Amino acid sequence: MSGFKAPPKKNLGQHFLADRSYVERIVLAVNPQPGERLVEIGPGQGAITFPLLRKHGELTVIEFDRDLITPLMEASEGVGRLTVIHKDVLQVDFTKLAGDEGALRLVGNLPYNISSPILFHALEHAAVVRDMHFMLQKEVVDRMAAGPGSKVYGRLGVMLQAYCRVEALFDVPPGAFRPPPKVDSAVVRLVPKAADSVGIADHALFARVVRDAFGQRRKTIRNALQQVCDAAAITAAGLRPEARAEQLEVAEFVQLANHLAATRPRDGAD
Q: Could you state, in order of their start, the residue ranges of all structural domains in the chain?
A: 10-196, 203-268
pLDDT reported for residue 162: 98
15 is in an annotated binding site: yes
3-state secondary structure of 68: helix
Longest Cα separation, the chain: 66
Q: Report which of 108, 157, 105 is spatially closest to residue 131, judged by C-alpha positions.
A: 105
What is the CATH superfamily name and number for domain 203-268? rRNA adenine dimethylase, C-terminal domain (1.10.8.100)
pLDDT reported for residue 101: 78
**Residues 111, 13: Cα–Cα separation, whole Å:** 6
109 is in an annotated binding site: yes
Give the DSSP H or E segment for 16: strand 16-17
- How many CA atoms lie less than 13 Å away from 172 in the CB half-sphere? 29
pLDDT reported for residue 5: 57
Neighbours of 9 (CB within 10 A): 11
Q: Could you tell me the pTM of the whole model?
A: 0.90
pLDDT reported for residue 195: 86
Classify domain 10-196 at the CATH topology level. Answer: Rossmann fold (3.40.50)
133 is in an annotated binding site: no
270 is in an annotated binding site: no
CB 239, CB 187: distance < 8 Å: no
113 is in an annotated binding site: no
pLDDT reported for residue 14: 53
242-to-11, 101, 106, 200, 218 alpha-carbon distances in Å:
44, 49, 40, 24, 11
The identity of residue 124, as a single letter, is E
3-state secondary structure of 85: strand
**Residues 74, 4: Cα–Cα separation, whole Å:** 10
pLDDT reported for residue 113: 84
3-state secondary structure of 6: coil
The identity of residue 2, as a single letter, is S
CB 37, CB 44: distance < 8 Å: no
pLDDT reported for residue 216: 85
**Residues 31, 154: Cα–Cα separation, whole Å:** 31
Cα dihedral sign for 156, 161, 165, 167? positive
CB 153, CB 127: distance < 8 Å: no
pLDDT in tens, the chain (270 residues): 355 555 544 444 456 788 999 999 999 999 999 999 999 999 988 999 999 999 999 999 999 989 999 999 999 999 999 999 999 999 999 999 999 878 999 999 988 888 999 999 999 999 999 999 999 999 999 999 999 999 999 999 999 999 999 999 999 999 999 889 889 999 999 999 998 899 999 999 999 999 999 998 889 999 999 999 999 999 999 999 999 999 999 999 999 999 999 998 765 444
